[in-house]
């Protein structure tokens, strides 16, 4: 078995595909009405699928709020440079930063993702 991709539910698959392509240095390789795909330089794909009942997740979770059931971990060489790049791409820092060597950010749909030093 080989893991080749991850699919993320979204209210705006094309917008997130463009975001993740910029963030990860990848390329949008497919766009349909309800689905888009980004191929990363390492060969992994991030698929964005429209969820008709999408509700923006809250991180960290709070009772009664939609929770983020998954997140992406992105290894970086320079945490400060990667953080500046992510912010320029449209990411927003999460209010809670639980570790000094990890930065938790939110994509345009509110999904958390982590930048960490390799």
pLDDT in tens, 1-56: 999 999 999 999 999 999 999 999 999 999 999 999 999 998 999 999 999 999 99
Q: How many CA atoms lie within 13 Å of 75's alpha carbon, on the beta-carbon side?
A: 2
Q: Which tens digit of pLDDT belongs to each residue from 80-92?
A: 999 999 999 999 9
Element spanning 22, H or E = helix 13-24
How is domain 5-51+70-117 classified at the CATH fold level?
2,3-Dihydroxybiphenyl 1,2-Dioxygenase; domain 1 (3.10.180)
**Beta bridge partners of residue 102, listed in sequence order:** 116
pTM over cut 0.85: yes
**Three-state secondary structure call for residue 76:** strand
Q: Are 23 and 64 in contact (CB under 8 A)?
A: no
The C-alpha atoms of residue 3 and residue 23 are separated, in whole angstroms, by 21
Q: Which strands sit side by side in the sheet containing 35-39, from one edge to the other?
A: 5-10, 45-50, 35-39, 27-32
């Amino acid at each position: 078995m080989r893991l080749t991709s991850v699919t993320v539910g979204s209210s705006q698959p094309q917008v997130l595909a463009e975001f993740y392509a910029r963030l990860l240095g990848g390329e949008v390789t497919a766009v349909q009405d309800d689905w888009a795909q980004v191929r990363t330089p390492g060969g992994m794909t991030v698929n964005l699928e429209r969820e008709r009942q999408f509700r923006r997740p809250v991180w960290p979770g709070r009772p009664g709020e939609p929770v983020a059931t998954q997140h992406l971990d992105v290894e970086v060489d320079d945490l400060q440079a990667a953080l500046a790049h992510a912010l320029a791409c449209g990411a927003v820092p999460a209010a809670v930063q639980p570790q000094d060597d990890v930065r938790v950010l939110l994509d345009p749909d509110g999904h958390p993702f982590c930048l960490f030093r390799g």
